[in-house]
Amino acid sequence: MNLYGYIPESVNEGTGLRAVLFISGCRHACPGCFSPGSWSFRAGEPFTEERQQQILHEVVTHPLLEGVTLCGGDPFFSAAECTSWVRQLRAARPDMTVWAYTGFVYEELITDPARAELSRLCDVIIDGPYVAAERDVSLPFRGSRNQRIIDVGATMAGRTIITMPFEAG
């Protein structure tokens, strides 16, 4: 697995101050994607054990971070590798939230064992492909109206999709 980018502090990819990992590789190839350079699974740098531990240390020792966001590419194309790292994060800082962006819809994620496992480790998933015709820059945390901000815990408990109550603007 490769890491396309890493932002130690961001307020754009979820609530609060977050670290953001951009995972290389995506096969959705959404027209109008903001990061087509991340589509290649070879883009960026190898996410070696050493690099994983370095970022994990930075994240867990940062007193102001609320959580981590996995972006891409699409982290769910590298679900098993991401799951391993997120498990380490959860063990070290169970108070941190995990958000993930994906071009899959939630209903697709839970049909694949590896993707379902990563899904269960997330607090929030922004799902669905970017659709340029539905672009709406007023939407918090997403680029097009078809994308949902899913509360994973509530969704699993209720066995129906529960979205987060963010308002536009």
Q: Which pLDDT belongs to residue 168?
A: 43
Q: Tell me if 163 is assigned to some domain.
A: no
Range of the domain at 54: 2-158
pTM for the predicted model, two decimal places: 0.95
Q: Outline where 6-132 has alpha helix (H).
A: 49-61, 79-92, 106-109, 113-121
Q: Outline where 62-125 has alpha helix (H).
A: 79-92, 106-109, 113-121
Cis peptide before 73 (omega within 30 of 0): yes
Average pLDDT value over all residues in the chain = 95
Q: Is the pLDDT of residue 121 over 90?
A: yes
pLDDT tens-place string over residues 10-55: 999 999 999 999 999 999 999 999 899 999 999 999 999 999 999 9
Nearest-angstrom CA–CA distance, 156 and 151: 9
Q: Tell me if 165 is assigned to some domain.
A: no
Q: Tell me if 146 is assigned to some domain.
A: yes
Q: Which pLDDT belongs to residue 167?
A: 54
Torsions phi, psi for 148 (to 5 deg): -115, 150
- Total residue length of the chain: 169
Contact 67, 74 (CB under 8 A): no
Q: Tell me if 109 is assigned to some domain.
A: yes
Q: Which pLDDT belongs to residue 18?
A: 98
- Give the distance from CA 145 to its chain's centroid: 18
Q: Which of 38-47, 75-84, 89-98, 134-143 has the lowest mean pLDDT?
A: 134-143
Domain count, the chain: 1
Q: Tell me if 169 is assigned to some domain.
A: no
Q: Tell me if 62 is assigned to some domain.
A: yes
Rounded (5°) CA angle 72-148-151: 95
Output the domain CATH number for residue 154.
Answer: 3.20.20.70
C-alpha dist (Å) from residue 14 to 29, 63, 147, 165: 23, 17, 14, 13
Q: Tell me if 41 is assigned to some domain.
A: yes
- Give the distance from CA 102 to its chain's centroid: 7
Of the chain, the percentage scoring pLDDT greater than 90 comes to 95
Rounded (5°) CA angle 103-160-148: 30
Q: Tell me if 24 is assigned to some domain.
A: yes
Of the chain, the percentage scoring pLDDT greater than 70 comes to 98
Nearest-angstrom CA–CA distance, 68 and 66: 7
